[in-house]
Structure 1
């Protein structure tokens, strides 16, 4: 196996006026991770998944060559091979529950996802998750026998998750990374619901869910061909917000600074710094208009989560029977996938997961005060005992209230309180990030319940 490597960049202290910088711009390790992602391996994996014929949730489970059962066993075997190559660094298992009496799962059906966990060395109870969906479908969501290749939707997301595991398993991280191939998405987001509920029961401190759903199409039904952009969907106000929290948010702000939004800003900046020829668009919405994906069950429980996907969709290739009609070819087949583009979005996931997992946990208990004062004071909790030695200090960010991204920053050292003199609280939004000794930063945390990433 490749020798395990660690980042090693020192961080200075001072005043900086800059765009949001989650890691040092010259961090060669993140550049190496981005370059290591292979379009050829992604193509191989997507082709294998397509060759199972259909991966419908209600399809064949006994066959070794066709159906959802064969697909999930192959995915598990791939994760196990990856683990062998890194000396057993992944915990690989099936995660399942029996679902019945649902509109799209009327009869009792075991919904089985595949999970691979790469434990952190310093703070293993802190998790970041990358996911893709195993299942596929045709025009009739209940048709479990017709060929449903699902090359882009969503073999691309599963292949990207496998490839990220191959690359990142050659490193060690402070926090834990989870690679998830989730089942039952087309029938009602059941794989995500099962995983999110289990994570909550097990007390996982989830700081980020990166759901990849359709990351391989570059030719939109609108006629646009674009392999240089992607979308990051991120919800605003948390589903779990209480009435009291909503009342406070009305007076202090936070509608555009949920943890999911600041996670999206973090990923957006990772694209700018480490992924050549990729511009990401942060979309202030849970998902596409009126639609959903497997990050939603995590958002429903209050966890930060986003959807990463192509910018221009081709609806002739989504949820369609294989056919030709009025000169139009329908169906989600291999020829509709750009493997280099899928590799580019996979690399974005990989560097984002790596940077967050090398960084300390986002600060907890962030608060702010400064009403009727010419200065602004921020406070936060000290790092946990496990992370004390890992934290070099903290960085305060602020921006004008109509600016989409963080504009200014100041490194303030290893303290839990800092006052920005002559910076008026009413004119800006503020946040705090944790910084490791090798320069890795957490996502920015907006003060109060509206922006909290959890304890």
Structure 2
């Protein structure tokens, strides 16, 4: 999804005619051109962050995690060299070391009772590193990977479970982002989190998401990175030029809440908060990581499967999952062994570290752009009091001190990504000479440096 400046200017023409006087229209076009150029420009700090992501460090982190023999949720917690306890203490110490005092690193734990995949009360411990924003913003962005591992028998807590791809790759990505991004300043808060008990039932992420909702934490977006380490499919096909990004549309709920009912009633099934977040990730990821595609999959996750973003979706947050193009199940959830001359198991030798670094760079670019930008506009509505072919949009003013204004984006009802854009200035209402019957609209907030928020889908103003 790439905006072309000449297209944005061309589409802005009809809207500009709504302004009083031709001289005002010319000035408006010039302002549109200037702000659009800022929006399209690559931001130097994001370019630096992306350039500093290191495949070598990611490789070293994955190998270190594999060295703990197993990271099963119910494995040893006392040893300094083996088991999940040693792994989480090492992760915490590494984040403290590389955070340069800028990361607040804490254990987030709870005691989980006996369950279908837990045969004894077990302490579930997430490692949470928070990079506080520089503004008064209460927004948080969360990125996670799960550091627990497993073999064929989900209850086997002692067998060799290297978990190199599932999910040392995601854990290494999160740690690498934390270490690099801790040296930079962002408006919003970023939480770098490695979670436990994903394999047992998403218990680590579930606990964090539930606590966040109970605290009414403003999590504006969440990514999980799970199985991002291999570019080779089970057929041997190598695809190191894309990553899948799973994004939920209409949530699967027994009863449909009013906001989702309105989304469906206006045809906005493809405009959920997670889909809006995914569009932003795709645009920013592809902008800063050349020749690498972010392929949005319009599902919450792989077919009837799930990951650590699911508890966040259940709590009403926008959440996405990154996963490699095609999984090789010989190297996932398997005892390490050789059968008929074929080596089976989730070993580090099957991880493509350069590919993992590329996925990490996409994550970092998206996170940085989100945390630098204003919040997505709130209470965006379409006036519906009278029948007309023009579309009047209204929204609530953002509170950021460095806000420049707002940008309206739109696309055909058959298009997946935004096709057109119009910067409208620092106003809270604008009328477009484009019919709401024929397109989908969104409103974005833009700051003075050209950082732009995800779009907010408008609901009817009755």
Output the TM-score relative to the length of structure 2: 0.90
Q: Which has the larger radius of gyration?
A: 2
C-alpha deviation, 1:243, in angstroms: 4.2
Aligned in 2, Cα 1:438/1:246: closer, same or farther, shift over 3 Å?
closer
- Match for residue 433 of structure 1? 444
1:47 aligns with 2:63: yes
C-alpha distance in 1 between matches for 2:196 and 2:42: 38
Unaligned runs of 5+ in 1: 1-10, 450-455
Task: For residue 256 of structure 1, give the secondary structure of its aligned residue in structure 2.
Answer: coil
Greater RCO structure (CA 8 Å; 6+ sep): 1
1:368 aligns with 2:382: yes
C-alpha deviation, 1:23, in angstroms: 4.2
1:394 aligns with 2:406: yes
Cα pair 1:235 1:261 within 8 Å, conserved:
yes
Q: Kindly tell me the number of residue pairs found equivalent between the two proteins.
A: 430
C-alpha distance in 2 between matches for 1:22 and 1:193: 39
Task: For residue 364 of structure 2, give the secondary structure of its aligned residue in structure 1.
Answer: helix
Cα pair 1:239 1:299 within 8 Å, conserved:
no
- Match for residue 419 of structure 2? 407
**Equivalent residue for 2:83, pick from 67, 74, 99:** 67
Aligned in 2, Cα 1:77/1:414: closer, same or farther, shift over 3 Å?
same
Q: CA RMSD in A?
A: 2.0
Aligned in 2, Cα 1:238/1:366: closer, same or farther, shift over 3 Å?
farther
Unaligned runs of 5+ in 2: 1-28
C-alpha deviation, 1:252, in angstroms: 1.0
Task: For residue 380 of structure 1, give the secondary structure of its aligned residue in structure 2.
Answer: strand
- Match for residue 314 of structure 1? 328
C-alpha deviation, 1:239, in angstroms: 5.2
Aligned in 2, Cα 1:16/1:265: closer, same or farther, shift over 3 Å?
farther
Aligned in 2, Cα 1:117/1:239: closer, same or farther, shift over 3 Å?
farther
- Match for residue 178 of structure 1? 191
C-alpha deviation, 1:146, in angstroms: 0.2
**Equivalent residue for 2:364, pick from 350, 357, 372:** 350
Alignment of 1:289-304 (within 5 A): 289-304=303-318
C-alpha distance in 1 between matches for 2:286 and 2:438: 27
C-alpha deviation, 1:215, in angstroms: 1.1
1:445 aligns with 2:452: no
1:304-348 C-alpha deviation (Å, 9 max, x unpaired)? 000011101111000000001122211000101111111111111
Task: For residue 366 of structure 1, give the secondary structure of its aligned residue in structure 2.
Answer: strand
- Match for residue 23 of structure 2? none
1:154 aligns with 2:172: no
- Match for residue 188 of structure 1? 201
Aligned in 2, Cα 1:275/1:22: closer, same or farther, shift over 3 Å?
farther
C-alpha deviation, 1:28, in angstroms: 2.4
Output the TM-score relative to the length of structure 1: 0.91
C-alpha distance in 2 between matches for 1:248 and 1:22: 34
Cα pair 1:239 1:301 within 8 Å, conserved:
no
Cα pair 2:72 2:157 within 8 Å, conserved:
yes
Task: For residue 446 of structure 2, give the secondary structure of its aligned residue in structure 1.
Answer: strand
C-alpha distance in 1 between matches for 2:218 and 2:252: 17
Aligned in 2, Cα 1:405/1:22: closer, same or farther, shift over 3 Å?
farther
C-alpha distance in 2 between matches for 1:255 and 1:16: 33
C-alpha deviation, 1:390, in angstroms: 2.1
C-alpha distance in 1 between matches for 2:334 and 2:274: 31
**Equivalent residue for 1:237, pick from 217, 241, 250:** 250
